[in-house]
Amino acid sequence: MILDILKYPNKKLRTVAKEVEAVNGDIKQLVKDMFETMYAAPGIGLAATQVNFHQRIIVIDVSDDCDQPLCLINPEIIEKSGEIEYEEGCLSVPNYYENVKRANEIKVRALNEKGVSFEIEANEMLAVCIQHEMDHLMGILFVDHLSKLKQKRLKKKAEKQSQKL
């Protein structure tokens, strides 16, 4: 089922997600729906917060053929190094792209969609995507990494767009 994606400046995007207590049937269905929503959007990452479920779940697929789905439940970065500046966009901030600096290499511990713990090392685009989606779980948007002036302009533009809907 394709879920509705919250759009900036919706205040629900600022909600801090809670830990997933158990990977049960409801969580597995949510993960499936999140993948379907992300692919349909189309996007390369989606946090549960963006679809108004405030639990620590993210789905990602940075592959060209959309055939490498990655689910991270209760993700935590356990190592990071280097720095990369990458142009980011966001399904919750449509048609807006800006360069953001993040760690270039990270190691993450999480549960998969079956509830099994694993660790993954990521760099470049995958590392950027994971950090971007993990920010969502903390109520942080990529635009928060921008200058105050750019944030102000974007917020005005987004508020005008939401009034047209």
Catalytic residue set: 133
Question: At 112, which helix (H) or strand (E)?
Answer: none
Separation between Cα atoms, residue 135 and residue 130, nearest integer Å = 9
Residues sharing a CB contact under 8 Å with residue 62, sequence separation 6 or more, in sequence order:
44, 45, 68, 125, 126, 129
SS (HEC) of 12-47? HHHCCCECCCCCCHHHHHHHHHHHHHHHHCCCCEEE
